[in-house]
Structure 1
Amino acid sequence: MTLHVLREDDGEALPVVLLHGFPLDHRMWEATAAGLVGPREVLAADLPGSSGRTSSGAAASWAQDAAPSLDDAADRLAAELAERGTRRAVVVGLSMGGYVALALAERHPELVAALGLVDTKSTADTDEARAARLQVAEETERLGTVEAVTGMATSLVGESTRAAQPAVSEQLAAWIEEQDPADVAWAQRAMAARPDRTHVLAAFPGPVTVVVGDEDTVTPVAAAEHMVEAAPAAQLVVVPRSGHMSAVEQPAAVAAALSDLAQRADSA
């Protein structure tokens, strides 16, 4: 796992740690990170299921050597943060990143000052969704390509984005094409195996912001409302004209919501 520094700061504000969605990498957060208000360190991880390619095209893949578990991803993230001296942070995850954020809050609660859950859910997959993930994992390994997930570049964004911002899907497609098939298969199996973590939200004492695109059909507004109802200190932000990739489709709106969360965490 690699942690990328998107913004540097040596002040007193809590750092923000950003966890990307599937099948992407840390680059999906760049526009949102740039829009965060105030001086604050911002880190973005390359999780399993991401090749974590840099601008030079060098991959930092490790998922092939790890068991398919998002708990393991959370433990690795905690170790990376500890190594760099980060003792407490605002942890934000989109989709798969949200699953890892909840695992981190359960397994390493001392690290998580606040939770940002963006276009994600706290429940486990249905049997149908789990079977679909495993099928994609098998197909990806069999073909040795990411062809099985390339269509997500269009399906993950909202109707408004498809109509008004076609460049967003083009950028997502380019990022997806750069992922490693073995990592994609690993992530699908890990997500299929994840448990329901609604209880983690119910027990979480810090501030929570749940963000969802109003056109998100993958983890819709109802899934966001479920998390807000479970968490004792949660706020809901619905992003207009956005689908499942709100941080890429409407980064300014997501940055505003996360800036407010970070400020709440600083004051807690």
Structure 2
Amino acid sequence: MADLPLVLLHAFPVDARMWRPLRDGLTTRHRLITPDQRGLGRTPLPETGRAPSLDDAARDVLALLDKLGLEQVVLGGCSMGGYVTMAVLRAAPERVAGLVLIDTKASADTPEAAEARRGIAGRAESDGVSGWLAESMVPNLLSAETRQTRPEVVESVRDLIESQPGAGVAWAARAMADRPDSTDLLAATGVPALVVVGEQDTLTPPGAAQEMAESLPRGELVVVPQAGHLTPVEAPAMVTEAILGWWPFG
């Protein structure tokens, strides 16, 4: 099982370019697959006529695995990518050999959080994302330390957000708002699981990450110092080291 590919799914509202700082370190040991999710980056938003659902995002991942001829992978993601990972696990657990859950959570949104996501969706759909989405989200995505001392990281995240299509942002926000609780799903999962969280993550804080790791029968927790909600962007070397050090497949 040493040659299992690693599939990493990106956060909201960015695309797979967020994984670039990890690519060199991870690909020396593993095959790394980092797709853009539907409606974001270079992946178009299909017209299905259905309400937005992470189940469809999970089907996209499974279709990609089928296309690549991959029966089983180590699957993970950051934030929204973690939610999609859980949706894949729910749909096809036999395809998932291990989990990498980064700055994400198993619980569903509160009614207030879901309503806030729907507000973001409505504005993104009507106005696009330029000029407001990055301004509103960067303070929650990056730690105070990163925002104060690393302007190049702040600018990179702003550019990623600003480049996303409004329709894709709207779809993803609505899909996340309606996602189910996955606590019981993870508790019943027997595969090895790595949970990574930024020490200063205010959206999915370390306490919640610890609870998630403890609920996983084979869970392991790594807390990344001085990082916020986008640890792969803020501390790529530490996240790379955490994944390589945890890898339990030979």
Normalised TM-score (structure 1) = 0.88
Q: Deviations over 1:10-42 (max 9, x none)?
A: x95110001000000000001112222743210
Contact persistence 2:16–2:41 (CA under 8 A): no
Number of corresponding residues: 248
| Residue 116 (1) aligns with residue 106 (2) | no
> Match of 2:120?
136
Query: Is residue 91 from structure 1 mapped to residue 64 from structure 2 by the alignment?
Result: no
Matched residues in 1 for 2:45 and 2:244: separation? Answer: 32
Matching residue within 181, 197, 215 for 2:200: 215
CA distance in 2, matches of 1:129, 1:155: 14
2:215 alignment partner in structure 1: 230
Give the conservation status (yes or no) of the 8 Å contact 2:133–2:162: no
Residues 227, 260 of structure 1: alpha-carbon distance in 2 compared, 3 angstrom cutoff:
same
Measured after TM superposition, the shift of residue 148 of structure 1 is 4.2
Give the match's secondary structure for 1:46: coil
Amino acid at match of 1:185: A
- The correspondence for 2:184, drawn from 191, 199, 206, is 199
Q: Structure 2 CA distance, aligned partners of 1:24 and 1:236? A: 25
In the TM superposition, residue 64 of structure 1 has moved relative to its aligned partner by 5.2
Q: Which stretch shows the higher mean deviation, 219-228 or 244-253? A: 219-228
Q: Go from structure 1 to structure 2 and tell me whether the alpha carbon gap of 1:188 and 1:164 turns closer, same or farther (over 3 Å shift).
A: same
User: What is the root-mean-square deviation of aligned Cα atoms in Å?
Assistant: 1.6
Question: How far apart are 1:144 and its partner, in Å?
Answer: 3.3
Alignment partner of 2:14 out of 21, 24, 33: 24
8 A Cα contact 1:70 1:194, kept in partner: yes
- Counterparts of 1:212 and 1:145 in 2: how far apart (Å)? 27
Gaps of 5+ in 1: 1-10, 53-59
Of 194-203 and 144-153, the range deviating more from structure 2:
144-153
Measure the CA separation in 1 of the matches of 2:46 and 2:117: 17
- The answer to whether structure 1 residue 255 and structure 2 residue 240 are counterparts is yes
The structure 2 residue matched to 1:189, chosen from 174, 177, 182, is: 174
Assess if the C-alpha contact under 8 Å between 1:37 and 1:256 holds in 2.
no
In structure 2, distance between residues paired with 1:145 and 1:210: 30
